[in-house]
Amino acid sequence: MSSRARRQRILRDEDDEDDEYTQPSTSGTQRESKRIRQEDSSYNELDSQLTAEQTSQDLERKVNDTVRYALACEHRKQVIRKDDIARKVLTDRSRSFPAIFDKTQAKLRHLFGMELTELVSKEKSNPAKRAAANGKVVLSKTYVLRNILPEEQNDPQIIHHTDDEYQSTGLLYVILSLIFVNEQSMNDELLMSHLNRLRIPEESETFGDRARMLDGFVKQGYLQRQKLNAEVAQSDQPVFQYSWGPRAKAEVPEQNMVGLISSVYHVQGSELDRLQDSIYKAASIDT
């Protein structure tokens, strides 16, 4: 072999030796890739766990915030609007309203013996619009907190209220009962006549300004007030008609109202049955 050929062979052998150190083997490359994939998978799983935990904690905070908001609105006798919950409480989690609402209901029932009840929309004052509605119930996306405690737990010695609250609630129930037995509606002239007979003047020490008190019941949703048109009212002066508001319909079962009216007369047995039948008849309700 010539000297030139020997030099070329030596150079090729040196290049091959260098390649052994600079190029990893195929099996080594596969093991390294597998290790990297396993580490990435572990990191992704940990990230998923942390994200799920953070999401769960955030959801629970929103549920607690919604419970507090509902209780605050109930303390002020304000209706609870779905839009207000989404805007003031849920903010960036408004799309989670169904899940948060269900968890809120469960917590309210378990801890406070109350539940959120959606109110129906106000009835149309126009007879043609009422006929077009065809008796369909239209929900309003507004709620109130309704007491769902068993009757034996609705005891004044358990649930305390102030004297002002008892007086206001007592008068409200009297007004609701008067409306109930008057075919569930009453014009303002007749209502004021009844209040005068009950010695509740336009201004009293106990209830304050009578008109403002009625405005409060309307605002709270216990009463609904509608202005009658001239043909229906048959008067040149404005005439308003009062009926049960959506909150009263949600909070006060009609049977409870019948029981309240019956208890005033202190009757029992068959006489009580006749009285209750007459109350239902006066309210134009089929039993």
Tell me the angle at which helices 97-107 and 26-75 cross, rounded to the nearest 10 degrees.
Answer: 60
Q: Are 54-157 and 161-252 equal in CATH topology?
A: yes
The helix/strand/coil state of 200 is coil
Greater confidence, 157 or 110?
110
C-alpha separations of 191 from 9, 127, 177, 266 in Å: 120, 22, 11, 24
Average pLDDT, stretch 106-111?
94
Q: Which of 102-106, 148-152, 155-159, 245-249 has the lowest mean pLDDT?
A: 155-159
Q: Which carries the bigger pLDDT value, residue 264 or residue 171?
A: 171
Return the domain boundaries, the chain: 54-157, 161-252
d(CA 213, CA 215): 5
Both ends of the chain: CA-CA distance in Å?
123
Query: In CATH terms, is domain 54-157 a member of 3.40.50.150?
Result: no
* pLDDT tens track for 197-207: 888 888 888 88
The answer to whether 90 touches 69, Cβ cutoff 8 Å, is: no
- CA distances to 103, 186, 190, 230, 276 from 242, rounded to whole Å, are 37, 5, 10, 16, 23
| Class for the domain spanning 161-252 | mainly alpha
The arrangement of strands across the sheet holding 80-81 comes to 80-81, 139-147, 114-120
* Mean pLDDT computed over 258-285: 65
pLDDT at 36: 55
Arithmetic mean of pLDDT, 210-235: 84
**Which band of pLDDT confidence, cut at 50, 70 and 90, is reported for residue 280?**
low
Strands 203-204 and 80-81: unpaired
How many residues in the chain? 287
Tell me: pLDDT of 127 over 70: no
Confidence of residue 20 (pLDDT cuts 50, 70, 90): very low
> For the chain, what is the radius of gyration of the CA atoms?
36
